[in-house]
A and B are shown apart, each in its own frame.
Chain A
């Protein structure tokens, strides 16, 4: 049983985990529970609104931002397995809204975290049940919003070391965008292709056969390109690795 002072976390699932890869959200719940948190999942959640917002559809995004605030503002903590969705809530909702709503957005921002930074910086998860599967050589892609908006850099590496005994094989330019950029990759496919190919080349140069990261958008892009190129590179979300979920097919792999 959890002690009464257990941190209470509301999970912001993110639409990509909800639709494309539920195992990321289940892994997040397991990790948060291992860290002693009580986790709830507000059932009315959908999407943080990044697709429209980043394309300049501000007016359409405002009602969605308000819905999300209403749904999560009573939480003690809000945690998302995505730096960009957490960044949307923390940095962009306050820009999008005025007056009272801006105040409410700022209050929500105060208690919203990206998963790995929450586990390391807030609840200080140091260890977890030993993961018996030995991992192949792993490289890490620093997703832009997590890195620059949420300060996620050392936290996932520290967790991989402490929980999985993995030292990340660092790739060159790990902090350079993979070319996803939401609708960017569909609007400018040629440029996006060059960027994701650079990412794959840098990842492969490390000798890694597994690439991980904290944002599904980037991982879907990288995995999709790796499959198209026929590369032997598994792509998995870091929450899956940390919770020992290595058995389900990697992103883009068949059953």
Chain B
């Protein structure tokens, strides 16, 4: 997918100028945390499960070679064909090859952020295939020619009216009202049903790969994943190699955290386990199944200081709790993964230069880390990325030098107190009457939006020394 992260600030300004979008995001930012908190509170031993899952994910990643080999063995024994893909292009070409081998013309796709990452839809369409997204949100986004704004709710940025207009425009179904949400869902269901029945290949993602039995778990609310997996003759599961877990019970432990963190539900409507192709005794199911395990820098991340990031289970809770995400929306981040997890992942999966603004789109408020079901220290990682930006001189020189000068000065108390004493006296003299400054040299970022309050008078250190002296006399 093409990256526009460098324009983050411009993208954000545009998003903030759209009053309708702001109102939509304000509502989501208010209610999604409430729903998550309620679900977590009702669950009970949430923190214990969170720490358990953190250990399980860490253990799986620490022993990735072992569990991947075991998964491959078990999945192959179940009749699956397991492929490894180093890069996005490699995954795309494996998928296209499989489609072409079967003479496929139509593909039905479940929601998969990994295939957004690889740009699979464009690739397959260039290869002559018709690709239909079947998750309702993803379908809406596809029809609108957009990309997902949220990793769990791809079309959360769209209002009901916008979706109505889109359907009236795109679906050639004559005069109709389409006033209610159920009308919209019903129409999408009708349109998608034909496609499910015609598609020769189904593509889905995976929330967990289970090493002990070679199964793949998928958590959805619409059941479209199961239709993609069971109706077409060929199923392709596109996922990444860091999804592997030792045991089935580890996958269900993640499911408990994932769903509560993502939508505030105790369960989604469907949690499916795919074992492999149809067996003789099965009534239905695909005749051939493929599992593609994408690396695309995951093993680099595993070997780096950012390996904690691979524990991410893609619940989107950090997005829902991030006030910057709430302000800008997901598209401003300019690539596949937005919000705090995206601001860490994007530089690691693309480049630090192309993502320079993202690690800075953070106030270190810590709300994301607080709710992360995998206890990933997101603000620390974003700070570490800012450190790398400084070391690699991606940070503007004026910022680097200014902050280093400040730290250098603060290490020299005599000089620091002398200079701040003068500066504060000058500022106090000018600002005391009005109480603040509407503009100030070197503080344009601050004063563009707010007054700079005037200092009270002499510094504390000056006053304290004075008082100590007069007490001694």
A interface residues with partner B (beta carbon < 8 Å): 13, 15, 17-23, 25-26, 41, 43-47, 49, 51-58, 60-61, 63-64, 67, 95, 144-145, 148-149, 172-173, 175-177, 179-196, 198, 220-221, 223-225, 227-228, 248-249, 251-255
Interface status of B176 (Cβ within 8 A of chain A): no
Q: Is the CB of A190 within 8 A of B9?
A: yes
List the B side residues contacting A149 at CB < 8 Å: 366
B411 and A194 contact, CB distance less than 8 A: no
17 residue pairs of the A-B complex, CB under 8 angstroms, read A19-B424, A26-B460, A43-B464, A51-B403, A56-B389, A56-B395, A60-B407, A63-B407, A145-B364, A179-B363, A191-B324, A193-B450, A223-B453, A224-B450, A228-B450, A252-B436, A252-B453
User: Is A190 in contact with B386, judged by CB distance below 8 angstroms?
Assistant: no
Q: Are B435 and A253 in contact (CB under 8 A)?
A: yes
- Contact mask for chain B residues 424-467; partner A; CB cutoff 8 A; 1 contact, 0 none: 10000000111110100001111011111111111111011100
Complex partner residue of A148 from B361, B370, B404, B451, CB under 8 angstroms: B370
Within 8 Å of chain A (Cβ to Cβ): is B43?
A: no
Asked whether A221 lies within 8 Å of B363 as measured between CB atoms, the reply is no
Which chain A positions have C-beta within 8 A of B312?
A: none
8 tightest A-B contacts by CB? Answer: A181-B363, A186-B445, A56-B386, A224-B450, A56-B387, A22-B460, A254-B435, A177-B365
Contact A188 B12 (CB under 8 A): yes
Name B's interface SS: helix
Among residues of A, the one whose C-beta sits closest to the C-beta of B359 is A56
One of B70-78, B95-103, B412-420 contacting the partner: B412-420
- The answer to whether A56 touches B364 (Cβ under 8 A) is no
B456 touches A185 (CB 8 A): no
Are A43 and B449 interface neighbours, CB within 8 A? no
Interface contacts beyond A49-B410, A56-B390: sample of 19 additional A-B pairs, CB < 8 Å, sorted by A: A43-B465, A46-B416, A52-B406, A54-B364, A56-B388, A57-B387, A57-B390, A57-B404, A58-B387, A60-B407, A64-B407, A172-B30, A177-B367, A179-B323, A190-B13, A196-B449, A198-B26, A224-B450, A255-B435
**A128 vs B408: C-alpha distance when bound (angstroms):** 41
Q: Known interface pairs A46-B416, A228-B449, A252-B453. Does A144 touch B367 (Cβ–Cβ under 8 Å)?
A: yes
Is residue B164 contacting chain A, with contact meaning CB distance below 8 A? no
B387 touches A190 (CB 8 A): no
Q: Is the CB of A49 within 8 A of B424?
A: no
Q: Identify which of A44, A60, A194, A220 contacts B408 (C-beta below 8 A).
A: A60
Contact, CB under 8 Å: A251 / B453: yes
Residue contact B413 to A45, C-beta cutoff 8 Å: yes
Which residue of chain A is the closest to B387 with respect to CB atoms? A56
Which chain B residues border A190 with CB–CB below 8 Å?
9, 12-13, 16, 449
Per-residue CB proximity of B235-251 to A under 8 Å, as 1/0?
A: 00000000000000000
Residues of chain B at interface, number, CB under 8 A = 73
* Bound Cα distance A95, B30 (Å): 33
Q: Which residues of A contact B22 (CB under 8 A)?
A: 194
Bound-complex Cα distance A225 to B449 (A): 7
Residues of B that sit less than 8 Å from A by CB: 9, 12-13, 16, 22, 26, 30, 323-324, 327-328, 360-367, 369-370, 380, 383-390, 395, 399-400, 403-404, 406-411, 413, 416-417, 420, 424, 432-436, 438, 443-446, 448-461, 463-465
* Closest Cβ–Cβ distance, residue A253 to chain B (whole Å): 4
Q: Are A22 and B458 in contact (CB under 8 A)?
A: yes
Query: In the complex the two chains form, is A254's CB within 8 Å of B434's CB?
Result: yes
**In the assembly, what is the distance between CA of A184 and CA of B362, in Å?**
7
Query: Which listed residue, B323, B432, B452, touches A254 by the CB 8 Å rule?
Result: B432
Contacts of B451 in A (CB 8 A): 223-225, 227-228, 252
- Determine which residue in B22, B327, B384, B448 has the highest number of CB atoms from chain A within 10 A of its CB, and name it: B327
Residue among A192, A225, A248 with max Cβ neighbours from chain B (10 Å):
A192
A49 touches B407 (CB 8 A): yes
Q: A51-B403, A179-B323 are in contact. Are A187 and B360 (CB under 8 A)?
A: yes
Query: Which residues from A are CB-within-8-Å of B386?
Result: 54-56
Is A189 a contact partner of B410 (Cβ separation < 8 A)?
no
Complex Cα spacing A57 to B397, Å: 12
* Distance between A241 CB and nearest chain B CB, rounded to angstroms: 16
CB-contact partner of A56 in B363, B383, B432, under 8 A: B383
Distance A56 CA – B436 CA, assembled complex (angstroms): 30
- Check A64 against B365 for contact (C-beta < 8 Å): no
CB distance from A87 to the nearest CB of B (A): 9
Nearest neighbor of A193 in chain B, beta-carbon distance: B449
CA distance A103 to B387 in the complex (A): 23
CB B184 to nearest CB in A, in angstroms, measures 30
Residues in A neighbouring B362, C-beta threshold 8 A: 181, 184
Bound together, the chains give a CA A193 to CA B9 distance in angstroms of: 13
